[in-house]
């Protein structure tokens, strides 16, 4: 898993690449924890993520709560079909904003 972030004002864009599993979730967690408090809107670009485990889903939910607590929103951008299936089955698509 690779993660890069870019923060401009109140918006943070995080780009992910690889599999978001229990073995790699710490990479995203470290990236999210480095985002300054001023950023309240999180865009997570998952166009290059081909697998998400339950640990990844938990972290996305936690990031969504952080964004809401800061007065913003978390958006998951461009998930691949297999990842979107997981979002639909688990109900996370009804909790976070997903942009296809």
Domains defined along the chain, listed by start: 2-99 (3.30.750.24)
3-state secondary structure of 45: strand
Average pLDDT, the chain: 96
Predicted pLDDT of residue 43: 98
How far apart CA 51 and CA 41 sit, in angstroms, is 24
Q: What is the pTM of this model?
A: 0.93
Type and span of the H or E element at 31? helix 25-33
The three-class DSSP label of residue 68 is helix
Quickly tell me which residue has 């470290």 as its tokens: 30
Classify 74 as helix, strand or coil. strand
**Mean pLDDT computed over 91-98:** 94
Instruction: Using a pLDDT cut of 90, give the percent of the chain over it.
Output: 99
pLDDT reported for residue 90: 96
Per-residue confidence (pLDDT) for residue 18, from 0 to 100: 97
Residues 22-61: tens digit of each pLDDT:
999 999 999 999 999 999 999 999 999 999 999 999 999 9
């Amino acid at each position: 898993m690779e993660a890069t972030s870019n923060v401009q004002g109140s918006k943070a864009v995080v780009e992910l690449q690889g599999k978001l599993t229990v073995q790699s979730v710490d990479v995203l967690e470290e990236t999210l924890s480095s985002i300054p408090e001023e950023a309240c809107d999180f865009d997570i670009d998952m166009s290059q993520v081909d697998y998400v485990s339950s640990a990844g889903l938990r972290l996305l939910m936690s990031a969504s709560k952080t964004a809401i607590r800061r007065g913003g929103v978390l958006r998951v951008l461009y998930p691949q079909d297999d990842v979107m299936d997981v979002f639909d089955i688990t109900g996370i698509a009804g909790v976070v904003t997903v942009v296809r």
